[in-house]
A = this chain, B = another copy of it.
Amino acid sequence: MAKEKKLVEAITSMDEDFAQWYTDVVKKAELMDYSSVKGCMIFKPNGYAIWENIQRLLDARFKEVGVENVYLPLFIPESLLQKEKDHVEGFAPEVAWVTHGGMEELQERLCVRPTSETLFCDLYSNIIQSYRDLPKVYNQWCSVVRWEKTTRPFLRSSEFLWQEGHTAHATAEEAEARTIQMLNLYADFCEQVLAIPMVKGKKTDKEKFAGAESTYTIEALMHDGKALQSGTSHNFGDGFAKAFGIQYTDKNNQLQYVHQTSWGMSTRLIGAIIMVHGDDSGLVLPPMIAPVQVMIIPIQQNKEGVLDAANGIFDELKAADIRVKVDDGDKSPGWKFAEAEMRGIPLRVEIGPKDMEKHQCVLVRRDTREKTVVDLDDVADKAKELMAQMQKDMLERARKHLEGHISDAHNYEEFRDAVENKPGFIRAMWCGDEACELKIKEDTTATSRCMPFEQEKISDVCVCCGKPAKKLVYWGKAY
């Protein structure tokens, strides 16, 4: 292994410096590059292809639950952004402003959308008249801009890609049901497709979205024990509807305000995939979203028939709808192995003269490096089987890691000790007072991640102030 690693330039070990390991993997796996534009990243083919697979699979799930895609403008007039008070306060400090169009100064500044609640509200106020027009369940895939001072590939950048769903409903109950439905859809997607288990719950008022009545979140745990907010679903009640005058006539001919939700996931998920599954050889991609699922690497490819055999396997796998490539470049097999590992390709196939004699090839799993010798007639079936198993095993490993990194704190001493010495989520009781959240953050840098749906009482008092406890909260350091 040592020799192979050198061939593709060694990356920093995870345990030595996790942040540097992350940056190295992003760079060496050619997922992303910095651009000349401050705070903006370039999604290179390997990185963008992961996003395309996420989009395709998530969008299919959206369509199953009645979501319709639309596209709204990139720009929001300043007056529109200002209609909902909490919302503008939350976003105005971090938006990019367009002041000139062509050679002329604009009469009104336009901000580049940081999120599109205001545009959807404006649209809904025009197209919703009657209960017959409800519900509206729209979504858009787009980029948004939030002017960030410090940036980090996939996790935080001035521009990122995401989807934002925005819905309007006749009743509060229906809006709440949609909020929870989409949160569950997100959690299920992350588990089943990205092999990342999630902690689900509600955000505290301090952490909720600007303008929301309540925000629900899914939180993942990275390899280093830090939390990553991976998706959010907001119930707006009728707050935006009142600000934007979105009313409908109900069956009794009465004017009513609609109830709204919004929900989003972004290219952050790629950061989560890297930090949950990666190892010291680089990326490890769940087979379901790997742009290349199988890399065929011929051994002694100049010997007669080897490349033909490799191409034969390629045809076989391609026909079975597997995303496959042959690496017939002029590098050594060892170099190619290391590169395929760096890129996180789930399976590699080795085929050389000796294998050919025995009418076989070798399949190697990226996650366990387990080798399986396979008859050439069975290669497609076996590849599918191994990838299905790998997908399951990756989720299981991530789940064990998550479960092994949750600790309970019954008092502030235990809490501080956990933050210091037990990377992961800390479960602790909270009185409901924002002052305690602020003190905990000040003292430990940990923040409240969520109030889990399954509440229990592990102590009677708030872990911080000792007053009566109201909620069990997951706390943690977060990206």
Contact = CB atoms under 8 A, between A and B. Distances in A.
A475 interface: no
B73 A52 contact: no
Nearest to A120: B42
A-B pairs, 9 with minimum CB distance: A40-B73, A45-B68, A43-B71, A101-B147, A97-B100, A102-B147, A37-B73, A99-B99, A96-B98
Interface string A26-44: 0000000101110011111
Given A48-B70, A96-B100, A33 B145 contact: no
Nearest to A49: B69
A102 B98 contact: no
B98 A69 contact: no
B102 A99 contact: no
B70 A44 contact: yes
Residue with the highest number of chain B CB atoms closer than 10 Å, among A76, A99, A161: A99
A119 B35 contact: yes
A13 interface: no
Given A35-B119, A75-B37, A103 B93 contact: yes
15 contacts: A33-B126, A35-B73, A35-B119, A36-B77, A37-B73, A41-B73, A42-B73, A43-B72, A51-B71, A74-B145, A75-B159, A96-B100, A96-B110, A97-B101, A98-B98
Interface string A115-153: 000010011001100000000001000110101000000
Given A98-B96, A99-B97, A147-B102, A77 B45 contact: no
Contacts of A158: 101
Interface in A399-456: none
Interface of A: 33, 35-37, 40-45, 48-49, 51-52, 68-77, 80, 93-103, 110, 112, 119, 122-123, 126-127, 138, 142-143, 145, 147, 158-159, 161
A449 to B, nearest CB: 26
Given A101-B96, A147-B101, A123 B48 contact: no
Contacts of A94: 102
Given A49-B69, A98-B96, A74 B112 contact: yes
Contacts of A72: 35, 42-43
A441 to B, nearest CB: 22
Contacts of A161: 71
A385 to B, nearest CB: 26
A21 B351 CA distance: 63
Nearest to A73: B40
A48 B59 CA distance: 14
A51 B69 CA distance: 10
Nearest to A102: B147
Given A33-B123, A96-B101, A143 B49 contact: no
Nearest to A98: B96
A70 B45 CA distance: 5
A35 B123 contact: yes
A306 to B, nearest CB: 22
A44 B36 CA distance: 34
A124 to B, nearest CB: 11
A35 B77 CA distance: 11
A237 to B, nearest CB: 23
Given A33-B123, A43-B71, 19 more contacts: A33-B126, A33-B127, A35-B72, A35-B73, A35-B119, A36-B77, A36-B80, A36-B122, A37-B110, A40-B74, A49-B69, A51-B71, A52-B69, A74-B74, A93-B103, A94-B102, A96-B98, A99-B100, A101-B147
